[in-house]
Amino acid sequence: MLKFAKSISKNFREHIMRQKHKQYLPDNPMHDDIYIVEFPKSGITWLQHILGNIELQLAGKKREFISFYNHHKYLPDVHQLRGANINRFLNRTFIKSHAEYNPFYYFVIYLIRNPFDVMVSYYNFLLHMGESYKNFKKFVKSEKGIKAWKRHVLSWWYRKVDAQRIHFIKYEDLLKNPVHEISELYKNLGVNVEKEIIEESVERSKMEKMRASEEHYRKYNPNYSMSFVGKRGKIKKEQFLTDEVGEYILQETKEIIEFFYPELVKDRGTP
């Protein structure tokens, strides 16, 4: 009887947990779905394009490519699904997510970007979306600022669940040597991908091509007003990332930076 009661209790707890995280799952999740996770504005759209272009080539769809219009068809965004079913067109299903730790993501690629650049990029994005902040310092200290980034990263970094597989990619490393970083990722995925395929996919996913694809989409959708790719209308980091704000970010995220970005601590001096 006690064993039965414990079983019921365990199932109930799992049900409650699944309900909590259900909003960040498709309605038809599969155990082998691969979730690409990031804190907003860490470079996930670029990574989506690269992976999507690789998977199209591996699937023999030589005439197709990832565009700004279709990338969520092949690599769906869990925040747009709202619990809907997803179609699985390719050999592997990559799903984009901004969620904090989710125990139902069994295979995860976590894209991390240094917090100084993330804060600047996210601030620009929110301003473009019409949100109002008195200044950059106020934003960094707000509920959407650096503490949110820290909470997001720690939620994935500190979880040690053997059943989950997590592959961390630094955006800066991806920017510096995308072919190497993607090759290393596919080794963990257990897929042999020819270097030429990765190089071709990186070429197809260059920022200028993504920007041109977004502009092409804008041309035929008069309701589209965003500028998601590139630096169009964005404020440069040097204009508002003061020493005071930089020091605050460093102090708040010291543990993470020392592990992932020790060179940034050295560049700014030991606090």
Residue 47: per-residue pLDDT: 97
N- to C-terminal Cα distance for the chain? 58
Residue 253: per-residue pLDDT: 96
- The DSSP 8-state label assigned to residue 77 in this structure reads B
Residue 138 domain flag? yes
Q: What is the pTM of this model?
A: 0.89
Residue 5 domain flag? no
63: left (phi over 0), alpha (psi -120 to 50) or beta: alpha
Which secondary-structure segment (H or E) carries 219? helix 207-219
Among 76-80, 159-163, 165-169, the range of highest mean pLDDT: 165-169
Q: pLDDT tens digits, residue range 207-222?
A: 999 999 999 999 999 9
Residue 1 domain flag? no
pLDDT at 271 over 60: no
Residue 7 domain flag? no
Please answer whether residues 167 and 187 qualify as being in contact, where contact means their C-beta atoms are separated by less than 8 angstroms.
no
Residue 130 domain flag? yes
Kindly tell me the number of DSSP H helices and DSSP E strands found in the chain: 14, 4
Between 259 and 270, name the one with better pLDDT.
Answer: 259
Confidence band (pLDDT; 50, 70, 90) for 9? low
Residue 270: per-residue pLDDT: 46
CATH number at residue 70: 3.40.50.300
Please answer whether residues 75 and 88 qualify as being in contact, where contact means their C-beta atoms are separated by less than 8 angstroms.
no
Q: pLDDT tens digits, residue range 220-233?
A: 999 988 777 766 55
Confidence band (pLDDT; 50, 70, 90) for 189? very high
Between 62 and 202, name the one with better pLDDT.
Answer: 202
The residue range of the domain holding 97 is 21-268
Residue 167 domain flag? yes
Report the alpha-carbon distance of residue 88 to residue 31 in Å, rounded: 13
* % of the chain exceeding 70 in pLDDT: 89
In the chain, how many domains are there? 1
Confidence band (pLDDT; 50, 70, 90) for 166? very high
**DSSP for 80-117?**
HHTT------SSS-EEEE--S--TT--EEEEEE--HHH
Residue 69 domain flag? yes
Residue 6 domain flag? no
Q: How far is CA 83 from CA 76, 109, 122, 243, in A?
A: 12, 21, 26, 43
Residue 160: per-residue pLDDT: 72
Pair of tokens at residue 263:
């060179």
Report the alpha-carbon distance of residue 226 to residue 223 in Å, rounded: 9
